[in-house]
């Protein structure tokens, strides 16, 4: 599966000195963490990476915007690989063109609740911007048109309440940012999986996936931590876990304020609950021969990480290529076995599942206000409005088959890695 790599770019120019080619550093400022897309077979997507460089060297784009655009293009690259399609596929039949089909996939994902409407809209827009840039640089010249240009009127209201319409250029591929009727969007537009689906995913990962991915999935389902935080957990983070009295859970300190610090979205500091038996499983793994061999290969700054690749490297946060590859293998194995539960499953859905089921339990035993506060703190939500979405989702899905106590028992039993078949 395609991945996003971050490189250090140093501008240079070629010079011939004494008959030999030499590269001389330019006085321009180097670019740290420039995003670059690498295909599954380890070749680079040259055109996309040139676009990233062109944006990064433009005074009109900051690196955060470049990374956002490239993350959307990465999703497009993964889709192209999954569909065995090239990015220059524009045949005569319109319905078979790569952009038309990708748009359809985004709309379907939005309607199924797998993607937030805003994400679908932004993703399509970023891909169109990329193709427009390629057209301007004459890097693509399809025989058939890629889209139809059109002018759209946008109504704007000033501070005095006066309205005026501004005409903007658009295409027939643009996806309106509108909510799906009756749908309640959770974080990043992803929906939770059912408890039975979670059980099946964990059983499959125990049997097929690497020990590291299997443990990461458990941490995701039973702590709600994002993959970027999971891959930055330290062994000392586990050693420093505090006890929640009379509950049988522990808490892990994360964020820049934790000691040791653990990466979190928006750099939010706090603590997350973790079942004691899962914590014990992770501590046992931390001193296992398998992990210690990896630690011996790691650089001094990475040796304290809980999870290391077989080469002793860090899994490197939210866009980890290693995690993406392992998740891709798990989905492929599940597909071969006829398992449908992994269809449309992304790692971040572990977090949506945790937050939903934790809210069910909290609402069963606490007043609503206390439940909101507890889930917000446990999930490190920056805004209470994010936590409120889970209450609305639960209220809209009261007919879901699994009760809160089912999750409670699974929370304690499944976390230790001995799921009942």
Q: Check which CATH number belongs to the domain holding 372 and give it.
A: 1.10.443.10
Instruction: Evaluate whether 378 touches 272 at the Cβ level (below 8 Å).
Output: yes
- H or E segment to which residue 66 belongs: helix 63-82
Looking at the structure of the chain, the number of domains it has is: 2
Q: Could you tell me if 237 and 356 lie in one domain?
A: yes
Interatomic CA distance for residues 260 and 412, integer angstroms: 27
Three-state SS at 258: coil
Q: Could you tell me if 130 and 200 lie in one domain?
A: no
Q: Could you tell me if 370 and 262 lie in one domain?
A: yes
Q: Could you tell me if 227 and 111 lie in one domain?
A: no
295 within domain boundaries: yes
Q: Could you tell me if 227 and 368 lie in one domain?
A: yes
115 within domain boundaries: yes
Q: What is the DSSP letter of 234?
A: B
Q: Give the pLDDT of residue 200.
A: 93
CA distances from 183 to 110, 118, 392 (A): 10, 13, 10
Length of the chain in terms of residues written: 421
Domain boundary among the residues 102, 118, 136 is at: 136
Interatomic CA distance for residues 409 and 415, integer angstroms: 10
Instruction: Evaluate whether 354 touches 221 at the Cβ level (below 8 Å).
Output: yes
Q: Give the pLDDT of residue 417.
A: 47
Q: Could you tell me if 405 and 311 lie in one domain?
A: yes
Q: Could you tell me if 129 and 58 lie in one domain?
A: yes
180 within domain boundaries: no
Cis peptide before 406 (omega within 30 of 0): no
Q: What is the DSSP letter of 386?
A: H
The β-bridge partners of 272 are 252
Q: Could you tell me if 90 and 215 lie in one domain?
A: no
| Among 62, 32, 33, 34, residue whose Cα is nearest residue 48 | 34
Domain boundary among the residues 115, 136, 157 is at: 136
CA neighbours closer than 13 Å in the CB half-sphere of residue 96: 8
CA distances from 234 to 217, 303, 306 (A): 17, 9, 5
Q: Give the pLDDT of residue 11.
A: 87
Instruction: Evaluate whether 352 touches 337 at the Cβ level (below 8 Å).
Output: no
Instruction: Evaluate whether 349 touches 193 at the Cβ level (below 8 Å).
Output: yes
| Among 302, 284, 328, residue whose Cα is nearest residue 40 | 328
Three-state SS at 24: strand
Domain boundary among the residues 119, 136, 153 is at: 136
Q: Could you tell me if 200 and 66 lie in one domain?
A: no
Q: Could you tell me if 230 and 88 lie in one domain?
A: no
39 within domain boundaries: yes
Q: What is the DSSP letter of 305?
A: B
Q: Give the pLDDT of residue 401.
A: 36
Q: What is the DSSP letter of 45?
A: -
Interatomic CA distance for residues 48 and 58, integer angstroms: 15
Q: Could you tell me if 192 and 74 lie in one domain?
A: no
Does the CA dihedral 220-223-229-230 come out positive or negative? Answer: negative
Interatomic CA distance for residues 69 and 90, integer angstroms: 22
For residue 19, which phi and psi values (nearest 5 degrees)?
80, 5
Q: Give the pLDDT of residue 43.
A: 95
148 within domain boundaries: no
168 within domain boundaries: no
177 within domain boundaries: no
Spatial CB neighbours of 266, under 8 Å, sequence gap ≥ 6: 382
For residue 8, which phi and psi values (nearest 5 degrees)?
-100, 115
Q: Give the pLDDT of residue 167.
A: 52
Question: Alpha helices of 224-367 — where are they, by DSSP H?
Answer: 227-230, 235-239, 276-286, 289-297, 321-336, 349-365
Q: What is the DSSP letter of 193?
A: P
- Give the alpha-carbon dihedral of 302, 307, 309, 314, to 10 degrees: -40
Q: Give the pLDDT of residue 155.
A: 57
CA distances from 321 to 129, 257, 313 (A): 25, 27, 11
96 within domain boundaries: yes
Spatial CB neighbours of 364, under 8 Å, sequence gap ≥ 6: 404, 405
Q: Give the pLDDT of residue 169.
A: 57
Q: What is the DSSP letter of 115?
A: S
pLDDT along the chain (421 residues), means of 10: 89 86 85 92 95 86 88 94 92 90 89 80 94 92 80 56 56 75 60 89 94 97 94 97 78 95 93 93 97 96 96 78 85 84 86 90 84 89 83 61 46 46 39
326: domain range? 187-416
Q: Give the pLDDT of residue 162.
A: 58
Q: Could you tell me if 315 and 398 lie in one domain?
A: yes
Task: Give CA angle at 148 (146, 150), nearest 5°.
Answer: 145
């Amino acid at each position: 599966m395609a991945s996003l790599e971050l490189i250090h770019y140093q501008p240079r120019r070629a010079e011939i000195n004494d008959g030999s080619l030499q590269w001389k550093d330019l006085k321009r400022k180097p670019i740290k963490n420039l995003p670059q897309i690498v295909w599954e077979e380890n070749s680079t997507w040259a055109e996309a990476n040139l676009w990233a460089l062109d944006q990064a060297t433009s005074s009109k784009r900051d690196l955060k915007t470049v990374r956002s655009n490239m993350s959307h293009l990465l999703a497009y690259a993964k889709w192209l690989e999954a569909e065995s399609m090239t990015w220059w596929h524009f045949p005569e039949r319109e319905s078979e063109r790569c952009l038309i089909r990708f748009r359809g996939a985004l709309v379907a994902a939005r309607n199924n609740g797998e993607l937030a409407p805003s994400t679908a809209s932004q993703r399509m827009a970023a891909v169109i911007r990329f193709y427009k840039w390629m057209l301007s640089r004459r890097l693509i010249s399809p025989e058939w048109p890629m889209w139809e240009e059109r002018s759209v009127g946008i109504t704007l209201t000033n501070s005095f309440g006066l309205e005026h319409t501004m005409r903007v250029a658009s295409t027939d591929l643009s996806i309106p940012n509108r909510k799906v009727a009756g749908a309640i969007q959770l974080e990043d537009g992803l929906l939770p999986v059912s408890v039975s689906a979670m059980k099946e995913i964990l059983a499959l990962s125990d049997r097929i996936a690497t020990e590291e991915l299997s443990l990461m999935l458990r941490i995701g389902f039973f702590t709600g931590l994002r993959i970027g935080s999971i891959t930055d957990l330290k062994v000392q983070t586990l050693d420093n876990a505090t006890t929640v009295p009379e509950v049988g859970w522990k808490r892990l300190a994360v964020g820049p304020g934790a000691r040791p610090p653990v990466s979190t979205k928006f750099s939010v500091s706090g603590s997350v609950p973790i079942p004691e038996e899962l914590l014990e499983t992770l501590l046992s793994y931390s001193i296992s021969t398998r992990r210690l061999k990896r630690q011996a290969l790691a650089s001094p700054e990475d040796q304290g990480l809980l999870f290391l690749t077989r080469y002793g490297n860090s899994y490197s946060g939210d866009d980890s290529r290693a995690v993406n590859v392992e998740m891709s293998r798990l989905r492929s194995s599940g597909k071969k076995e006829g398992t449908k539960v992994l269809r449309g499953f992304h790692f971040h859905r572990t977090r949506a599942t945790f937050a939903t089921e934790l809210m069910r339990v909290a609402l069963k035993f606490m007043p609503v206000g206390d439940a909101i506060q507890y889930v917000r703190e446990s999930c490190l939500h920056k805004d209470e409005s994010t936590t409120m979405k889970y209450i609305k989702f639960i209220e809209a899905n009261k007919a879901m088959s699994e009760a809160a106590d089912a999750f409670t028992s699974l929370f304690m039993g499944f976390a230790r890695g001995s799921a009942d078949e």
